[in-house]
Chain A
Amino acid sequence: MTFTRRDFLKAGGTAVTVSFLAPRLALPSSMQQGRILVILQLAGGNDGINTFIPYTDAKYRSARPTLAIPDAEILKVDSQLGFHPSLAELAELYQQRRFTFVNHVGFGSLDRSHFHCQDIWQTGLETHQSHGSARTGWLGRWADQQLGFDPGPLAALSVGSRIPLGMTAEEIVPAAISNLDSFAIPTGTQLPADRDAFLGTLENLWMNGHGHSGHHDVRRIGADLFDSIELLENAPEPSQTAGYPASALGRGLQLVAQVLAGGYGTRIVWVTTGGYDTHSAQGPTHASLLGDVSRALGAFQRDLDERDLADRTVVMAWSEFGRRVAENGSAGTDHGRGNTVFLLGNAVNGGTFYGDAPNLGILENGDLPVQIDFRSVYWTLIQDWLGGDPEPVLMGRYENLGFLTPQQPARTRRVRRG
């Protein structure tokens, strides 16, 4: 059973409830039309070299005696870098100029810990910079700067039960949703006849309490929860035609599309998928992971096309580091450095890539070097897409990489719907 504002009313909640909630549930249309950024975290360290393959580099096969993808299977949609055979959907989007990637992205300090590197990517700060200050994420700082006092309970969305560090803010509290079907107040301990009274009583405790100073923030988050449940009660149905894979990532992106289509003013979204730490027997595992990402993103893009959201939405996918160029003795790869970042969306200047193609003849300690600071990706996304001043968010100045077309989000380039 779901807890909704109608239940409040039925259970005797009165004008207090309505005046408390009503202004927040009807967002001005300008707030419903903002540009949307979806962050996809590929946790574990994706092997960029077997993702966008330097198939013309003779050293590729010598460095990867068992892991090199057979030449005939590589999707050669680009003259220098070929797509892994599991990336059919992304290769097609690349040809449609709606998908691109940036090579050699990373940061200066040498650190191969998943833990530290994920923190660096999420905070936007090198480890030594981040001590002693509140731990906020780069996207959280953007949200505090740009989303204003009360952007609605779904302005920032994390798919899952927690807020990733990257989205952690001082003011804005993102919604965390794992599943729309279970996004409801539980009443399982109650006899059926007691459930309405139970829900009405809970509302009363949250909306009418007296109390201590700390209660204000708690009550605000409670109000966000109840509002979100109320809003999402009527969320658009999942797409029947987009063809999401039956994976956690597929379900997560399907949920994202439903929430975006509801018009709740959502501007930033975070989705995490993992399993990329392929130290051994990488071949089939990596193929399956990439296949999942490709099918899920392909379906997401079709879903956005069908819902007329594709011009307003950009996806950026990152992983904490790349993997070493040479495979190890277990038919896997160990932690490396420079990596690729993916970008998807109608506004993306796709069909070409950014940053030099990897040259396997020029390595640093066996790694692809870092040539582009990861914050340049964030800088570009803020400056050309989300809006606002990137410098205080990123606590420094970085270059604009030019992978977005900010002015005219590409209606003319829009391709036939899937």
Chain B
Amino acid sequence: MAIVWNRDAAAHLYRRAGFGATPQELDRAVEQGMEATVAGLIDYEGVDNSALEARLAALGPEPTTAIEILTWWLTRMIFTARPLEERMTFFLHDHFATGLRKVQRADWMLGQNRLLRKFALGNFTELTIEVSRDPAMLIWLDNFTSRKQSPNENFGRELLELFTLGHGNFTEADVKAATRAFTGWTISRQTGEFTFIDTFHDHGQKTFLGQTGNWNGDDIVRFACADPAHAPFIAGKVFGWLAWDDPDDSTIAPFAEAYSASGNSLRALVEAILRSEAFYSERARWAKVKSPVDFVVSALRQLEISRDATRIAIGILAAQGQLPFDPPSVEGWPAGIAWLNSGTLLGRMNFASAASALADPVRVSASAGASGSELVAAMLDRFGVTAAVDSMPLEAYVSPGGTDPVGNERTSRVRGLAQLILSSPEWQLN
């Protein structure tokens, strides 16, 4: 079964690897083919992002408050020319879920974001070692207080259960050994940066995953990330994030293999997934529910709203429970249908109305001809839902009695089409 590369497949790729494509991005993707489009998403460091950088510079100096770091990241998500960077940074934030609510230092949360961003397609083992030294994480899971005489297991446990191995792949004794190895990993009172305090560290012999020695925290991360359970765990999580929730072992196996063979490179893993038949299969299409961040960011990107809409974005994300930097727990955000209820669905419809009102109706329908059916086709294409949403009721709405809309009617119906598509059951999926 070969991959059929067409506009619909490209729209799917951009929904998952980014936050939806614009019509121009779809044009280019179809022309370039799958390999070049995936490569363009992955090799993002060569992509000009100066328009975003200018926007960020206009926000002011280094963000320091909760609202400033939120605005900074949402601006990146909405206006970046490197969508996979933001998508994977957000994945890693969900994976190493850390919350400002407990950390109480926006600058440290920003620092953690920069770390995750640096390793968005980097080496996972090296990233995990860095995360174990990250001030926000040291606060979040209490390791900054963990000493030989009074070890705190919070980080040691989550490192194994949530970050590297998964439930059932380690013992309580491994948790204790990992915890002992991380004693003394703390934050300097003077600099606010990671420091190792030798006198707090447990230098004794530790047996971790069957290996005995005087291990420290770095050793623990390396052993865990070399364990046979690690590659399937991470591959399953990334595949679940990009393709469909809760994939089975046989689906994951080739991606775990590619990840392992690369020495735990996220780049190798993501590349293998985005070029796979599984990723483009019917099974994967519309198989995920848009999270609030997916919903908000892709609505604003696909409507090409150029003004700053981060305030209304923050409003709906707070109401729907997915403010970046504020995950509900160390397990990250729930996925799937849990995002939807009557209140959140109505909230999405209200956001659809607000975003459609902000959009420039001339710009979003520029490529469309005068007829109602051309207008509907252009709007469905804009949101990448040509194959998913039934065009007939939309055509009846745009051209009642077969009369094509002009002037104010056309403006109202362009906005109406945008609002209807964003409010449709199909668009709640991703």
Contacts and interface: CB of A to CB of B under 8 A. Distances in A.
Interface of A: 113, 115, 119, 131-132, 135, 153, 158, 160-163, 165, 168, 173-178, 183, 185-191, 194, 197-198, 200-202, 204-206, 208-212, 214-215, 217-219, 221-222, 224-225, 228
Contacts of B328: 165
Nearest to A210: B390
**Considering the complex of A and B, which 4 residue pairs feature the smallest CB-CB distances, nearest first?**
A176-B343, A204-B393, A186-B353, A201-B397
Interface in B151-167: 161-162, 167
Interface in B345-368: 345-347, 349-350, 353, 356-357
Nearest to A212: B286
A200 to B, nearest CB: 8
B424 interface: yes
Interface string B411-430: 01101100110011110110
B1 interface: no
Nearest to B99: A115
Contact of B412 (A191, A209, A222): A191
A175 B167 contact: no
Contacts of B102: 113, 115
A215 B413 contact: no
A187 B356 CA distance: 11
A223 to B, nearest CB: 10
Contact of B426 (A161, A162, A211): A211
11 contacts: A135-B329, A161-B347, A173-B340, A175-B341, A186-B349, A202-B423, A205-B394, A205-B423, A212-B287, A214-B429, A215-B286
B393 A208 contact: yes
B216 to A, nearest CB: 26
Interface residues of B, number: 56
A3 to B, nearest CB: 9
Contacts of B30: none
A115 B329 contact: yes
B428 A218 contact: yes
B343 A224 contact: no
Contacts of A190: 412, 415-416
Given A115-B102, A162-B320, A176-B341, A201 B349 contact: no
A382 B425 CA distance: 36
A209 B420 contact: no
A218 B167 contact: no
A206 B162 CA distance: 38
A228 B342 CA distance: 8
Given A161-B344, A173-B342, A188-B353, 5 more contacts: A158-B341, A162-B320, A208-B393, A212-B429, A218-B289
B400 A132 contact: no
B331 A135 contact: yes
Given A163-B341, A176-B341, A212-B429, A183 B390 contact: no
Contacts of A215: 286, 425-426, 429
B406 interface: no
Contacts of B393: 201, 204-205, 208
B167 A225 contact: no
A397 to B, nearest CB: 25
Contacts of A205: 389-390, 393-394, 420, 423-425
A162 B343 contact: yes
Contact of A209 (B287, B338, B397, B425): B425
B390 A214 contact: no
- The secondary-structure label for the interface of chain B is helix
Given A214-B286, A218-B425, A189 B357 contact: yes
A179 to B, nearest CB: 10
Nearest to A201: B397
A189 B415 contact: yes
A188 B412 CA distance: 10
Interface in B304-345: 319-321, 328-329, 331, 334, 337-338, 340-345
A119 B357 contact: no
B357 A224 contact: no
Contacts of B425: 205-206, 209, 211, 215, 218-219, 222
A153 B347 CA distance: 17
A95 to B, nearest CB: 38
B403 to A, nearest CB: 12
Nearest to A3: B349
Nearest to B286: A212
Nearest to B244: A214
B286 A221 contact: no
A215 B408 CA distance: 34
Contact of A201 (B99, B341, B347, B420): B420
B285 interface: yes
B345 A214 contact: no
A166 to B, nearest CB: 13
Contact of A186 (B161, B350, B389, B426): B350
A253 B388 CA distance: 41
A35 B252 CA distance: 48
A218 B409 contact: no
Contact of B394 (A191, A194, A201): A201
B68 to A, nearest CB: 23
Nearest to B361: A189
Most buried by B among A175, A201, A224: A201
Given A189-B353, A225-B346, A197 B426 contact: no
